[in-house]
Amino acid sequence: MESAVEKVKTMEANFGGTEILAPLRDIFGKACKPGYPRQLFVFTDGEVGNTIQVIDEVKTNSSSHRCFTFGIGEGASTALIKGMAKAGTGHFQFVSGKDRMQLKVMQSLRFALQPAVTNISLNWHPPGGMEVAPISETPLVVFNGQRTVLYAQLKGKADENAVGCASLHYTLCDKEYKAEIHFGLKHDKHCRLTAHRLAAKSLMKGMEDKERPGSEGGDESIKKKIIEISTEARVISTHTAFIAINKEKNEAIQGPMVKRRIPFAGFNSMAFCSGAPMMMACAMPRRAKARPPQPKMRFQKQCDFYSRMPDVCAEIEMIPERTDPLLNLVSLQNADGSWNLEKGLMTLFSKTEKEVLQKMPVEIKDKSVWATFLALLWLHGFNSHQKDEWEFVALKAVSWIKAQTSLNPKLCLQAGNDLLGCQVDLQTLAL
């Protein structure tokens, strides 16, 4: 770990373009250590020209690892970040604006360390005369705190009073579970099309993921099917765009654009143009190839009926290590979970070496025990609002302290609270 930390300190963000495929192949070409499942964390602030190949490489090796991805900043490729995580049955995170990267990483680390739901299968038992066509792909894994929505299409004819059944099978901690739900077929007169459109979006997303740039024949048929579904369901896709329609004449609005500025929370203004008082939006096939995403923009211009959104710039809050006390404390922790009683640690506590040693109980013979106890008190007493970031750090320290013999936690607690000026109990410290 120390070698890795020292290596990171010498790195600079000047490696040129984003190259992910070669490092992935190098990683996958090495055998995993027995008893240690491979957990792959990928950080990137850009995009690659071979997204499909990268995702396919992760999917090919998905049986031997889980892949967790992090997109940093507005320029990170959504398709790459989500695609790799999905192919590697992992989890993705985006770090933008003033997000703290540490919090996002720790969230994914929790997913990597906890048991997950696996061997998921959804079985349909429709009434006679009907069949079920799955629209969504059943996930390979679901982590704690996550949810997944699956869509399916019922086809055929059956009595409206008939009842169908869907059964879900899955495994958690080597134990198999089963859940069932029954559903009726009676038509709801007040049913809206929201669920149908969400299902159409899910179906198109699956088709878009299968498209391969440069292939012949197959891609055109997929594109044609996507356009058909998009225009029928009125849900936008990668091959369609919304245009303004005059509802009275049922015609696309022609003529020069008229710009109107509408106040919008989060932006100075948003421009929208129209040519008629009454309009509706309709998904139509794009006549020209879509423009690539513009840098520093949240929204992409889709067609000439929309004027360009103002640039939205978001700077990632990269706090230098020397100005973040929490990161400083973490960097001083040893690999076994302890801390040494060194100058950097006492500077964090705003105490002199003399003050720290005067308060150390005489029963403690190892200064590292005292330093580790103080570090735990400092975390709980002054950084409880960032517990999600340092929780694993504290667990490791507690495990190390419990392994020490002839230690009186109560004496250490009282002396430590007096020295640091906090009020923490042993229950809070898990001691």
Q: What is the CATH number of the domain that holds 45?
A: 3.40.50.410
| Structural domain range at position 385 | 321-429
Residue 307, pLDDT score: 34
What letter represents residue 267's amino acid? Answer: F
> For tokens 């990483």, what's the residue?
105
Residue where a domain stops, chosen among 113, 130, 152: 113
What letter represents residue 235's amino acid? Answer: V
Q: Are residues 171 and 208 in the same domain?
A: no
Tokens of 91: 């989890």
Q: Are residues 349 and 421 in the same domain?
A: yes
Residue 9, pLDDT score: 86
Q: Would the pLDDT of 343 be above 80?
A: yes
Question: For the segment 83-126, what is each residue's pLDDT rounded down to a tens digit?
Answer: 999 888 889 999 988 888 888 999 898 888 888 888 899 999 99
Q: Are residues 181 and 95 in the same domain?
A: no
Whether the Cβ atoms of residue 327 and residue 319 lie closer than 8 Å to each other: yes
Residue where a domain stops, chosen among 252, 282, 314: 314
Question: For the segment 305-319, what is each residue's pLDDT rounded down to a tens digit?
Answer: 333 333 333 343 444
Question: For the segment 36-64, what is each residue's pLDDT rounded down to a tens digit?
Answer: 778 999 999 888 888 889 999 998 888 77
Residue 349, pLDDT score: 92
Q: Are residues 304 and 338 in the same domain?
A: no
Residue 282, pLDDT score: 45
Q: How far apart are CA 348 and CA 336, in angstroms?
A: 21
Over pLDDT 70: what percentage of the chain? 83
Report yes or no on whether pTM surpasses 0.75: no
Q: Are residues 349 and 363 in the same domain?
A: yes
What letter represents residue 313's amino acid? Answer: C
How many structural domains compose the chain?
Answer: 5
Distance of CA 59 to the CA centre of its chain: 18
Angle at 309 between CA 305 and CA 314, to 5 degrees: 160
Q: How far apart are CA 122 and CA 166, in angstroms?
A: 7
Q: Are residues 253 and 203 in the same domain?
A: no
Q: Are residues 155 and 206 in the same domain?
A: no
For 28, phi then psi, to 5°, come to: -65, -20
Residue where a domain stops, chosen among 178, 206, 232: 232
Q: Are residues 300 and 330 in the same domain?
A: no
